[in-house]
Amino acid sequence: MEGVSDLGFRNLCINQGADMTFTEMIRADAIVRGNKATLSLIDTHIPLKQGIQLLVSKPAILQKALEKIDFTNITGVDLNFGCPSPDVIGKGKGPALLKRITRMRDLLTILKTHSPVPCGIKIRLGMNYREKENKIYLKVVELANEAKLDWITVHPKTADKTSQDPIDVDALKEIIAVAKIPVIGNGFVCDKKSAQEMFDMGCSGVMVARAAIGNPWIFNEIKGISVTKDFAKAFEEYKKIASLYGTKQKYFNYHNEIFELRKKGDMAYHSPSRIDVY
């Protein structure tokens, strides 16, 4: 989650029951160029169950990035083919790649061959209704099977849908039936009930995004563990790690604002609007 998932936030989530966390989306070509601002986003300074999420469109760039990354404290790699940002799509990345079967095969092969840690991908159902109707998502699942990836995370709607549009449960069930690797369900997982619905469909796990913002306790809640929500204490725990490892001020300010809103009861899990784009 861009502008959200820094080390302090991931640490909070792990301490409250998350089995795996990820950095925000990082552009692989910028890693290859040695861009300092991009490299600073790989803030994996302490041992956590944390993965790095990459945006990439060229196999050669992916290989070079994987060779350049210091995998100390990194426990997984995920390629993002789900980000609906117009900027990402306009550059032929993210969901725009899903229909390019040869390119996708090459990327997944490089990923599995050169990643020193478990790896997977996150997808949508395509760019639009037409691509969904052509079931390009099933072709991508078959490529993931072929590459023997460790997981595939599915946000079951097309890239042209908004964050408030419903997910396509039938398409998710299709994917689960075809997949020979674990399927991680994503989309509107906001409590134990919504997570259980995905488990009942056959998902091996769920990915939580917006619902964890200001609410790191959601992971233990999903597991049925009783929690006490102390927002002030949680922010102090966040601040300790953020300060110790020099998080960017924008993260600090954002989480401070969110925890204050949560404490006052002024924020639903899907608000404010900047969260809705993830």
Q: Per the domain annotation, does 251 fall within a domain? A: yes
Domain span including residue 220: 7-277
Are 235 and 256 contacting, i.e. CB atoms less than 8 angstroms apart?
A: yes
Question: Within a domain: residue 216?
Answer: yes
Q: For residue 75, what are the contacts with CB-CB under 8 A and spacing of at least 6?
A: 20, 48, 49, 50, 51, 117, 118
| Band (24; pLDDT cuts 50, 70, 90) | very high
Residue 22 falls inside a structural domain: yes
- pLDDT, residue 267, reads 57
Please check the confidence at residue 31 and state whether its pLDDT lies above 60: yes
Q: Environment class of residue 210 by beta-carbon count within 10 Å: exposed (0-12), middle (13-18) or buried (19+)?
A: buried
pLDDT tens-digit profile of 58-110?
999 999 999 999 999 999 999 999 999 999 999 999 999 999 999 999 999 99
Task: For 247-259, write each residue's pLDDT tens digit.
Answer: 999 999 999 999 9
Residue 2 is assigned to a structural domain of this protein = no
What's the pLDDT at 60? 98
Does 1 fall in a domain?
no
CATH of the domain at 146: 3.20.20.70
pLDDT tens for each residue of 197-256? 999 999 999 999 999 999 999 999 999 999 999 999 999 999 999 999 999 999 999 999
The strand order across the sheet containing 50-55 reads 21-27, 50-55, 76-81, 119-123, 151-154, 183-186, 205-207
Tell me, yes or no, whether 131 lies in a domain: yes
pTM for the predicted model, two decimal places:
0.93
As a whole number of angstroms, the distance between CA 254 and CA 261 comes to: 11
Radius of gyration of the chain (CA): 18
Determine the Cα angle at 193 with ends 191 and 194, to 5°.
Answer: 70
Decide: 176 and 183 in contact? Cβ < 8 Å. Answer: yes
pLDDT on residue 266:
63
- Cα separation, 270 vs 259, in Å, equals 14
pLDDT at 18 over 60: yes
Residue 13 lies in a domain: yes
Give the pLDDT mean for 20-29.
Answer: 97
Per the domain annotation, does 89 fall within a domain? Answer: yes
- The total domain count for the chain is 1
Q: Which of 51-55, 109-113, 261-265 has the lowest mean pLDDT?
A: 261-265
